[in-house]
Amino acid sequence: GVSIKLPEGYWGQLVPRSSLYAKYGLIQTNSFGVIDESYCGDEDRWKLPVIALRDTVIPKNERICQFRIVKKQDFDIFNQETPLTGPNRGGFGSTGGK
């Protein structure tokens, strides 16, 4: 793992490389890693927790994950008192199918 001090107002996304499962049979345990700017101590390592679905060996210096530094976005949450006007797609998990 590595330790990184992120600038205030930014956060990191830690995800596996797309070939990780195909090459090594590994999947990330939490699906998506979120690291905020407070995670910055000497022992706060960015690591990729994985589950091995088969016996495997990862060569030294192999690229198994990647991260992005993302600027936090400000937004307001409010109660919607009138119905939304967009078409329904079938709810979460429907992929827009009918």
Q: Residue 31: is it exposed, middle or buried by C-beta count within 10 angstroms (0-12/13-18/19+)?
A: exposed
Tell me which H or E stretch contains 11. Answer: strand 10-16
Which residue is catalytic, options 36, 42, 55, 76?
36
The secondary structure of 12-68 as a DSSP string is EEEEE-TTHHHHH-EEETTSSEEEETT--STT--B---EEESS---PPTT---EEEE
- 36 is an active site residue: yes
The catalytic residues are 36
